[in-house]
């Protein structure tokens, strides 16, 4: 497979057959596959409810609205994430804030989070919610985040878009256990795909019902909610919602993909062990460290390259590997360095030094289940050669 991207989907004949079957059925959307996929997801994640929607970003958007975030509320997330986490705070009319990452797990630092919450409190501002991001597939310190949530009374959200298949203390249900709700994405680079797609996972009946109402224009036909009932055609709009539905075609694919999740994650872990051996210990690189009791899901393999001491520019490394048909990526440009967030929220360079240092060094090298041992040899040798 050339070129070799940093991530890609793994689609087999069973997936294709499932999609064809959906296409031949009576339902292209809002049929039986949607509910079946939700049931399968909620079982896998150990939560009462899964609400599937058109993307991970749509899931974050609706969750913020369902949680009631509004003007005057502060919602905190990590600077080391995709912009969608900060954007969903803005969509709800709340104010985004950031707290630096832990240098080993690359996830929210609970001590810095507590300091920041106290600062907000002293200035009379309310921290309404915190979104922890399981960066690359390494769970946050969810036990610490949960106890802070209980102590300070904020809502806790798990952005588990990188972490489907991860475990904490051997528990694959940790996100639903510690957070009030978790969000997933089924974009093709993620662990399982529906083309585009996402989900809100929660044990909270009220949140699940709000998300399901908002994903379909805020319209309900459920007799238990109707103010009156004029007949079988009758529906009512109760909230300003969106068309964020996902199709049966996509959910049929999601069902067959989910069956392969364990195998996908096992292969990703195998690839990570290989890279760990090739690139560490070596003072030119820092390989990811894993906290005790963590089962990493390896959405990404973030390799830090010590460009300063190598006198090699990252752009040059990208060029050299592109010539070899290896397409690197960088995850992520810290959110606070984006022009939009600087301009509207006053963030500055230097504010989150751990995330910034990480950003200067990191590359995402190819990590997906389709890579075979020959690919891994080729990638490793090419990276070694490019930095020597």
Ligand X SMILES: *Cc1c(COP(=O)(O)O)cnc(C)c1O
Neighbours of 53 (CB within 10 A): 29
Residue 332 CB, nearest distance to ligand X (Å)? 8
> What angle do helix axes 248-259 and 261-279 make, rounded to 10 degrees?
60
**DSSP alpha helix (H) spans, the chain:** 13-24, 32-45, 56-66, 84-91, 110-122, 142-152, 174-178, 205-214, 248-259, 261-279, 307-310, 314-323, 339-345, 353-361, 373-387
Residue 83 CB, nearest distance to ligand X (Å)? 9
Residue 46 CB, nearest distance to ligand X (Å)? 21
Look at strands 49-53 and 198-202 and give their pairing: antiparallel
Measuring CA to CA, which residue among 105, 112, 251 is closest to residue 166?
105
Residue 152 CB, nearest distance to ligand X (Å)? 24
Look at strands 219-220 and 181-185 and give their pairing: unpaired
SS3 of 361, please?
helix
Residue 53 CB, nearest distance to ligand X (Å)? 9
Q: 């360079």: which residue's tokens?
A: 349
Indicate the residue among 187 and 361 with the shorter CB distance to ligand X. 187
- For ligand X, the binding residues (CB under 6 A) are 55-57, 81-82, 84-85, 133, 159, 161-162, 185, 187, 198
Q: What are phi and psi of 383, to 5 degrees?
A: -65, -45
Residue 298 CB, nearest distance to ligand X (Å)? 13
Indicate the residue among 136 and 213 with the shorter CB distance to ligand X. 136
Indicate the residue among 135 and 347 with the shorter CB distance to ligand X. 135
Indicate the residue among 50 and 386 with the shorter CB distance to ligand X. 50
Residue nearest to ligand X (CB): 56
Residue 75 CB, nearest distance to ligand X (Å)? 14
Residue 125 CB, nearest distance to ligand X (Å)? 25
Residue 237 CB, nearest distance to ligand X (Å)? 25
Residue 244 CB, nearest distance to ligand X (Å)? 11
Indicate the residue among 60 and 271 with the shorter CB distance to ligand X. 60
Quote the tokens at residue 237.
């709009």
Separation CA 24–CA 181 (nearest Å): 35
Indicate the residue among 128 and 331 with the shorter CB distance to ligand X. 331
User: In this structure, what DSSP letter does residue 97 have?
Assistant: E
**CB within 8 Å of 219: residues ≥ 6 apart:** 213, 235, 236, 237, 238, 241
Separation CA 367–CA 110 (nearest Å): 28
Measuring CA to CA, which residue among 52, 113, 56 is closest to residue 84?
56
Torsion over CA: 180, 52, 31, 233 (sign): positive
Indicate the residue among 109 and 134 with the shorter CB distance to ligand X. 134
Indicate the residue among 193 and 382 with the shorter CB distance to ligand X. 193
Distance of alpha carbon 380 from the chain centroid: 27
């Amino acid at each position: 497979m050339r070129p070799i991207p940093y991530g890609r989907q793994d689609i087999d004949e069973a997936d294709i057959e499932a999609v064809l079957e959906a296409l031949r059925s009576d339902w292209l959307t809002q049929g039986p596959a949607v509910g079946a996929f939700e049931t399968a997801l909620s079982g896998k994640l150990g939560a009462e409810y899964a609400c599937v929607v058109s993307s991970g970003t749509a899931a974050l958007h609706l969750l913020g609205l369902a949680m009631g975030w509004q003007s005057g509320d502060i919602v905190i997330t990590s600077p080391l994430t995709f912009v969608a986490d900060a954007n969903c705070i803005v969509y709800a009319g709340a104010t985004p804030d950031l707290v630096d990452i832990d240098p080993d797990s690359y996830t929210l630092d609970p001590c810095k989070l507590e300091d920041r919450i106290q600062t907000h409190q002293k200035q009379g501002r309310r921290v309404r919610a915190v979104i922890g991001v399981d960066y690359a597939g390494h769970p946050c310190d969810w036990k610490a985040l949960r106890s802070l949530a209980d102590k300070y009374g904020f809502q806790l959200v798990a952005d588990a878009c990188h972490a489907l298949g991860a475990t904490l203390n051997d528990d694959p249900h940790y996100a639903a256990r510690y957070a009030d709700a978790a969000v997933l994405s089924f974009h093709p680079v993620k662990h399982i795909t529906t083309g585009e797609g996402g989900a809100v996972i929660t044990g909270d009946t009220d949140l699940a019902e709000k998300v399901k109402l908002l994903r379909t224009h805020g319209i309900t036909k459920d007799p238990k909610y109707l103010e009156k009932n004029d007949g079988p055609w009758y529906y009512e709009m109760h909230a300003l919602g969106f068309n964020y539905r996902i199709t049966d075609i996509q959910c049929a694919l999601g069902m067959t993909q989910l069956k392969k999740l364990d195998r996908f994650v096992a292969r990703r872990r195998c690839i990570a062990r290989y890279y760990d051996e090739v690139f560490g210990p070596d003072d030119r690189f820092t390989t990811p460290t894993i906290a005790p009791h963590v089962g990493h899901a390896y959405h990404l393999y973030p390799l830090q390259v010590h460009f300063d001491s190598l006198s090699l520019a990252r752009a040059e490394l990208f060029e050299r590997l592109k010539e070899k048909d290896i397409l690197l990526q960088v995850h992520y440009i810290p959110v606070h360095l984006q022009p939009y967030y600087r301009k509207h929220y006053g963030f500055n360079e230097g504010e989150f030094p751990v995330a910034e240092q990480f950003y200067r060094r990191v590359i995402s090298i190819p990590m997906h289940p389709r890579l075979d041992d020959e690919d891994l040899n080729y990638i490793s040798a090419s990276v070694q050669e490019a930095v020597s």
